[in-house]
Amino acid sequence: MIRIANGQGFWGDWLEAPVRLVEQGPIDYLILDYLAEVTMSILQKQKEADANLGYARDFPPLIGRIAKTLRERGVKVIANAGGVNPVACAREVRKLAPELKVAVVLGDDVYDRLDDLLERGVALRNLDTGEPLQSIRPRILSANAYIGAFPLAEALKTGADVVIAGRSTDTALALAPMVHEYGWGPHDHDLLAAGTIAGHIVECGAQCTGGNCQVDWKNIPDMANIGYPIIEAERDGTFVITKHKGTGGRVSIETVKEQLLYELGDPQRYITPDCIADFTTIKLHDDGRDRVRVTGIRGSAPTPTLKVSLSYHDGWKAIGSLVYSWPEAREKAMFAAAIVLKRLQQLNLQFDDVHYEVLGVNACHGPAAQIAKDYPEVQLRIGVRGSDKKSVDRFTRELVPLVLSGPPTATGFGDGRPPVREVVAYWPALIPREEIATHVEVVE
């Protein structure tokens, strides 16, 4: 049995979680998930400005902080913190933790190959709309294929203490140690599906140990010190989800079920680079306090294509807000929004989208929200999006004037005009599997 702990569900998660995982109890592997689709475009811009950037900069200081404990306890780290520059990330880790051996997995980044791929007939059409990539080619910011667990397992074979990847799947981080330790092969579909589902359960960190939980959330123990999830994985594909003893939170069939439904499409065809997992075969068993055993998982062969995540520039946006207080707070906010819309029309400003909502009233539930008779206070949030940056900037000058020229009791304008920000859009596509060739480098 090996113990695989996930100390991060997203870039920005609790900084103390990975530290506590390696210090508060036995684990064999620490996995850390940093990347989201929009993150890749941000990192690509950073790399273009500075060849030494383009990775998750929180990662090297973390490894430097826990390096001694990692070595003493023999814990290996696997992370997709490399973004679009895994080698630079590895070099920084080596500076801060020279005693650790670091390996990187390369080959997922196809940004510099796009023109060649298109010329050879790899269309990279939008999965949702069918549009050809040519329609946005000048505006593309990043392009990365999702890689699976086998390249990460190959990196572990080097004896690395830390394995850094770019755009791997979240589930691959957890599956890779199982492939490495147990020698699972590409045709062991049921085993790979089990490891994939284990990775899916823990990929969002404490979301499976009581965080963001709908069931009895007020009685989750000590959420200030919530324990992050640990997989106890066995060679036959069965596993237990648990956490360190004495930590806060809760592991139960209910918390695991909630996470199983996270970002789930067809439950019988959960597609990853390693396999297709069938969620309808999952069997959950109460294995004691804060322990859920998972068995029965079946899988099938992976698809002949890999998913490519591309991001591209899609205009500009600005979002501003004002707070209105009782009495008639909602009515004041709606009246203020009507004034802004009328002034934008009078200025003949054109936008792709104009949207407003009233926090405290309908921001979460929209038209399904129940309207109360009156509210102590509400926040009007209004924004625009468009291709003309000057028009978006002009909008930002129409909100603060309402403090004196609109309904009474406006406040919350201390930050002044809202900033104009770039809109980064997402383009999902498929690429033939044979187009992606990964390789491992040990960074000295």
Do 97 and 36 lie in one domain? The reply is: yes
| Amino acid, single-letter form, for residue 269 | R
The residues near 344 (Cβ < 8 Å, ≥ 6 apart) are 351, 354, 384, 395, 398
Task: Write down which residue in 303, 328, 359 finishes a domain.
Answer: 303
- pLDDT band for 214, please (50, 70, 90 cuts): confident
Residue 121 within any structural domain of the chain: no
- Please report whether residue 12 resides in a domain: yes
In a domain, 341, yes or no: yes
- Quick one: 286 and 320 in the same domain? no
Calpha distance 134→118 (Å, rounded):
8
226 plus 151 within the same structural domain: yes
- Domain assignment of residue 383, yes or no: yes
Which residues touch 429 (CB under 8 Å, ≥6 apart)?
Answer: 124, 125, 126, 127, 133, 307, 308, 310
Nearest partner of 40 among 29, 52, 56, 26, judged by Cα: 56
The arithmetic mean of pLDDT across residues 315-338, rounded, is 97
The confidence score (pLDDT) of residue 1 equals: 96
Per-residue model confidence (pLDDT) at position 414: 84
User: How far apart (Å, rounded) are the C-alpha atoms in residues 386 and 420?
Assistant: 11
User: Residues 244, 7: contact at Cβ < 8 Å?
Assistant: no
Of 283, 303, 323, the residue at which a domain comes to its end is: 303
Q: What is the DSSP letter of 229?
A: P
Q: Are residues 11 and 65 in the same domain?
A: yes
Query: Is position 124 within any domain?
Result: no
Q: What is the pLDDT of residues 360-400, one digit of tens each?
A: 999 999 889 988 889 999 999 999 999 999 999 999 999 99
| Predicted local confidence at residue 318, as pLDDT | 98
Q: Indicate the average pLDDT of the chain.
A: 96
Looking at the domain assignment, is residue 432 inside a domain? no
Domain containing residue 416: CATH number:
3.30.70
320 and 369 in a single domain? The answer is yes
320 and 233 in a common domain: no
Confidence at residue 42, expressed as pLDDT on a 0 to 100 scale: 85
Residues 283 and 343 occupy one common structural domain = no
Q: Is residue 133 part of a domain?
A: no
Q: How many domains does the chain have?
A: 2
Task: Say whether both 178 and 318 belong to one domain.
Answer: no
Residues 181 and 245 in one domain: yes
Contact (CB, 8 A) for 260 and 208: no
Q: Does residue 243 belong to any structural domain of this protein?
A: yes
pTM value? 0.94
266 shares its domain with 342: no
pLDDT tens digits, 4-58: 999 999 999 999 999 999 999 999 999 999 987 778 888 988 988 899 999 999 9
The domain of 53 spans: 2-108+146-303
Judge whether residue 215 has pLDDT over 90. no
Claim to verify: residue 95 and residue 209 sit in the same structural domain: yes
Mean pLDDT, rounded, for 73-78: 98
Domain end, chosen from 243, 270, 303, is at 303
Tell whether 356 and 289 lie within a shared domain.
no
Burial category of 426 from C-beta neighbours within 10 Å (exposed 0-12, middle 13-18, buried 19 and up): middle
Mean pLDDT of 307-322: 96
Please, which pLDDT band fits residue 140 given cuts at 50, 70 and 90? Answer: very high
| pLDDT (tens digit per residue) in 362-371 | 999 988 998 8
